[in-house]
Amino acid sequence: MGTICLTLAPSAQASQGAPTGGAVGSGSDTNASGNSSGDGTLSSTVGVIRYDRSKNGSGGSVGPVTSTTSWTPPACWYAPKYSPAALQAYLEPIWEAGSTGDAWDATQRDRYVNGHPYKDFNKDETGKGYWWDSYVNESFPPGWDKCDEPYFWVATGNAPPANIKNAVTPQILAELAYNEIRVPSKDVSLAPADKTKVNLPTWAWLDKTTFKPVSVTAHIDALGMWATTTAEPISVKIEPGTSDAITYPASGVCEFINGTVGEEYSTGDADKTPPCGVKYLRSSGSGSYQLKATITWKISWSGSDGTRNRGLPDGSFGRSQDVTVQEIQSVNR
């Protein structure tokens, strides 16, 4: 696999003059990894998350799941970014340009060069740890700029300082992998298929071959850290598109049973109540109703720290389809 270098946004130091944090970079490059050169300089992709989407949903009808609660994935987090030589190569040109002001540059040199608390960018620790910095969700949601701690050093095998919030963990990786989940969508099969009638129970079902668990694994190879987030379909909510309708069951929620929702209509079922379906009480006139089928996906994750099956909020993804409802025609003699 090739190395994809991370394109960094301008650092807070360069753009604000006297920030409290370091450079901001996207943490979702698909196949990024660290890369050491002969002089020990480590590219700033070292902490970028690598996603394995090989078991994700695919095809033209897939889309992202949306949390059924107000929960959202992390907007920003901290992870390894620089070796000692790489941080030096990044910061010294900024100081030399003077764009951040002499006072601020002197403060930075004192912190990273003069031994308060770090000396010479920690070069004597080369190969024994990383400089950590902030990464942000590439969609820049609210709060993306809250990770504003200055660069800090973490030795290999050590935990980040306890006061650092949102330092990357398997759970954070799992939450970010949630954001990468893509699930399939498909029209609900209906009987009658093309047009239904007023007061006629219409059967609805989904083919089990379309809906299977999907998963995405997020890795930070430099830390040996990973998490796999899995989405499994558990139910479909049928919304008829009009209040003049009755759903089966009354809640409109049809459970997945052995990978299937509802039952396919068969000859002889005309007098039965469908386990999943709808009965329209009024004609759609010259138009149609928008029947919406929203699939709920149960989300769980496992991680390199031994965590298994810890739940994240359920996700949902739906689509609408046209349903034409006609009056039953009677013949007067």
Reading the chain (333 residues) residue by residue, the pLDDT tens digits are 333 333 333 333 333 332 233 333 344 443 333 333 333 333 456 889 999 999 999 888 899 999 999 999 999 999 999 999 999 999 999 999 988 899 999 999 999 999 999 999 999 999 999 999 999 998 899 999 999 999 999 999 999 999 999 999 999 999 999 999 999 888 899 999 879 999 999 999 997 777 889 999 999 999 999 999 999 999 999 999 999 999 999 999 999 998 889 999 988 888 889 999 999 999 999 999 999 999 999 999 999 999 887 779 999 999 999 999 999 765 444
Amino acid at 176: L
d(CA 202, CA 195): 10
The pLDDT of residue 35:
35
The pLDDT of residue 308:
86
Enter the tokens of residue 11. 């650092």
d(CA 149, CA 97): 23
d(CA 96, CA 102): 10
| Host H or E run for residue 292 | strand 289-303
The pLDDT of residue 29:
41
Using CB atoms within 10 Å of the CB of residue 233, give its burial: 0 to 12 exposed, 13 to 18 middle, 19+ buried.
buried
Enter the tokens of residue 313. 């909020």
DSSP string, 224-243: TEEEEEEEEEEEEEEE-SSS
